[in-house]
Structure 1
Amino acid sequence: SALRQRVRQIILFNRKRASATNDGERSELIFCSLSFERGDNAFLKAADGAAVISRRRSDHVDIVKCKCATDAQERHTTACVLVTKKSEKGQSFQYSLLTLSSSNRLEPCIEFKLSYQMKENVYILQGPTVLWTHEDSVFYTSLQAGGQIFVLGLQNLSEKSLIKQSTSQTVGYFVQDGLVFDGSLILPHPYIRITRCIFVLKADRVDGALKCTLVAATSKQQLVYFENGTVKEICQLPFEQPDNIQVVDTGRNGCLLVISFHQGHVCAVWKETFQVFSSVHSDDFLGCGTEQMLLIFKDQGAEGQQLEKFLITDLCGLSYSRGQDTEAPKTSSPPAENYLLTLQALESRLQSGLIVLQELQREVRVKDRILQQSVQVLSDVVSGRETVLTQHEQVLCM
């Protein structure tokens, strides 16, 4: 089973065998989305559904990865889940990337077949794009890659000298156009082998290279802040084997770096305060204009229809908790200033939307004028009349 967050929702994915009408069983991918209801202080089921992955009993179906990614064609964020279907003899592996539509239906997005099984280093990126490694090579497939996807690695160089040595250099590779650049501008050479996960805070492509600000968690239990390949800050992490880095924006109080670990531990790097949870997600669950952390405690199955132990907090006064002790659920209502922040955030979004709408309306008006003038010119040509256009109209028609 797998768990993924969407805007103000938690989505649970699982696989299930169901009875088929003909011979044997069919394998299904089922999902259940939970949304937080402030009045009940609980995550309640908002929608559920299923998609048939295989109708043959001999096929073995597994969930490989799930993550939210931007759909470059639809221009919105959607929940994605990658599943694999292994043949009876294990000679081929069929992979399918499904997306959860706004109407809460699982829809196929990408399908491909491999002669081997993906094991580690599988990623779902913007586009959506599926990227994975196999035998020291990087592969990807996408309908339409979104943003700038790049890969960092080491390139071996054999020195032609009396002393035969093998050296390596850090290289970066843009997936879309195949351009290679100096990867040490992002991560210094000593950090390539020990980096477990990174989070890019800012990146700009300049003259074929990246100007990049990022944080990286290493196998040496360190969290490192880089600016253009230069180490700026380092702090020690309390656990080993970091797997993922998330950023929680708490508004005026700044950001939290939240690191998840392979053993299930989680820590937040902010003013040297740490607390262990089984998983962590960030979003505006309370709908108050700033992001909060949803911290889910241990010993909860992904198949449950309700989360029994969790904490929603921004560590700045907002706090909703359930199942932390034997007392009644604790809540802390948002302070009055948060309502002002909400209004300001909504006003800013409306203003941005209005600007975009006005620009689109201007484009439509220009296109309408061009069409009308083009029709007039064609009519005049057919009728043998001479068309007289002003200089401004000539520029529009060109």
Structure 2
Amino acid sequence: MTSKQAMSSKEQERLLCCNGEVIVFRLSKGSFADKGPAEIPGLHVRRMVFDRGTRTFVQKSTGFFSIKEKNSYLKILCCDCVSDFRTGMNLPYIVIQCNEKKNVFKYFLLFLHSTNKFEKRLSFRLGHELKDGLRVFNGPVILWKHFKTFFCISSQTGKVITVSFKFSSVEWVGEIGNLGVVLLGQKKCDLSEEEYTPKPSKSDYAFCNTKFCVYSLESEEVISDTYIIPPAYSSVITCVHVCATEIVNSQLRMSLIALTRKDQLISFQNGTPKSVCQLPFADPHTVQLMDSGGDLFFLVSFRSSEVCAVWEKNFQGFCTSKLFSNAL
């Protein structure tokens, strides 16, 4: 595929909702308004806000990032918002793939600042294409899986690291005090036959066969496999958000929330279920901690585009809505 063909494809434009704005990313040659350098490959950004008077989205500001790889096929992989470890601020990001030559792929992550200036925060090359499964966490940290092995690169290390521990899945990546960047995920336990009941049910087997662990990238070792999430919940957990951590008597303790396949939001304190909220919709897929003027609540998004807010203080749902229902 030529560069010109790539610029005209729909996948080269992505939308992101952030802080009350709609951010439009687009890979092209030239600017949105047919101004500027027409032959320079680049990433354009537009910030749009909703005008209630005209009931339309209007352009607030624009920005441009020049891409040096002029003869390469460029592709937008993903965009969202994550926290910058340096400041703690949530910033929009975008990940771009560049096919430089056969079997050589370059990837870079750009932060978008409030001034519409782009910052290249991460950059790396691989001998294979990341077709799916790439995830970006706070930091930023990029995580992906290739041939049953997890790899990651963080803004702190600046290089691709092979995760030597054999996770079956990774649910959360973040920074914990002097432990540095850690991965929280599930591993399959090789249990001997005598550790099972004589006739275990399929669900019991699933519960016993997986376990949550916390792995340190710096020391390349498991730093905890207790006080996280009980094994009985392992098979139903779909998403995890770590709220707080501390070291007590050389043991890592965690406070976290998790979404389940049973459409629940569960709070865990040091490995013990604390609160449960039955969610109003099916298939929840992400959860975020939001601070609204001192009141903390969890914002749960569903695959149906519904959103539900849950109070942190009493773990009760209090607001549901459809994304963009007031704007479209």
Query: When the two structures are superposed, what TM-score results if normalisation uses the length of structure 1?
Result: 0.58
Amino acid in structure 2 at the alignment position of 1:277 = K
CA distance in 2, matches of 1:209, 1:36: 49
The answer on whether the counterparts of 1:200 and 1:214 sit within 8 Å (CA) in structure 2 is yes
The correspondence of residues 40-189 of structure 1 with structure 2, limited to 5 A, is: 45-53=59-67, 56=70, 59-72=73-86, 77-86=90-99, 91-101=103-113, 103-114=115-126, 115-120=128-133, 122-126=135-139, 128-144=140-156, 147-148=175-176, 149-159=181-191, 167-189=209-231
CA distance in 2, matches of 1:138, 1:205: 27
Cα shift at 1:243: 2.0
Match of 1:195?
237
Match of 1:277?
322
Cα shift at 1:171: 2.0
CA distance in 2, matches of 1:40, 1:255: 33
The answer on whether the counterparts of 1:120 and 1:133 sit within 8 Å (CA) in structure 2 is yes
Structure with higher RCO (Cα < 8 A, 6+ apart): 1
CA distance in 1, matches of 2:85, 2:212: 31
Cα shift at 1:153: 2.8
The answer on whether the counterparts of 2:210 and 2:234 sit within 8 Å (CA) in structure 1 is no
CA deviations on 1:302-348 (whole Å, 9 max, x unpaired) are xxxxxxx44xxxxxxxxxxxx6xxxxxxxxxxxxxxxxxxxxxxxxx
Gaps of 5+ in 1: 279-295, 298-308, 311-322, 324-398
Q: Does 1:232 align with 2:271?
A: no
Aligned length: 274
The correspondence of residues 275-314 of structure 1 with structure 2, limited to 5 A, is: 275-278=320-323, 296-297=324-325, 309-310=326-327
Gaps of 5+ in 2: 1-13, 32-37, 158-173, 197-204
The answer on whether the counterparts of 2:288 and 2:300 sit within 8 Å (CA) in structure 1 is yes
CA distance in 2, matches of 1:273, 1:71: 31
The equivalent position to 1:263 in structure 2, one of 291, 296, 304, is: 304
CA distance in 2, matches of 1:45, 1:118: 33
Identity %: 25
Q: Which moved more, 1:55-64 or 1:114-123?
A: 55-64
Q: Does 1:245 align with 2:287?
A: yes
The correspondence of residues 306-385 of structure 1 with structure 2, limited to 5 A, is: 309-310=326-327
CA distance in 1, matches of 2:101, 2:282: 37
Match of 2:47?
33
Cα shift at 1:269: 2.7
Match of 2:253?
211
Amino acid in structure 1 at the alignment position of 2:121 = C
CA distance in 2, matches of 1:208, 1:134: 34
CA distance in 2, matches of 1:161, 1:245: 37
CA distance in 2, matches of 1:135, 1:190: 28
What secondary structure, in the 3-state scheme, does the structure 1 residue paired with 2:275 have? strand
Cα shift at 1:267: 1.6
CA distance in 1, matches of 2:134, 2:69: 29
Report the CA distance shift for 1:193/1:134 in structure 2 as closer, same or farther (over 3 A): farther
CA distance in 2, matches of 1:162, 1:267: 44
Report the CA distance shift for 1:76/1:237 in structure 2 as closer, same or farther (over 3 A): closer
The answer on whether the counterparts of 2:230 and 2:271 sit within 8 Å (CA) in structure 1 is yes
Which entry has the higher C-alpha Rg, 1 or 2? 1
Amino acid in structure 1 at the alignment position of 2:91 = T
- RMSD of Structure 2 on Structure 1 (CA): 3.7
Q: Which has the higher helix share?
A: 1
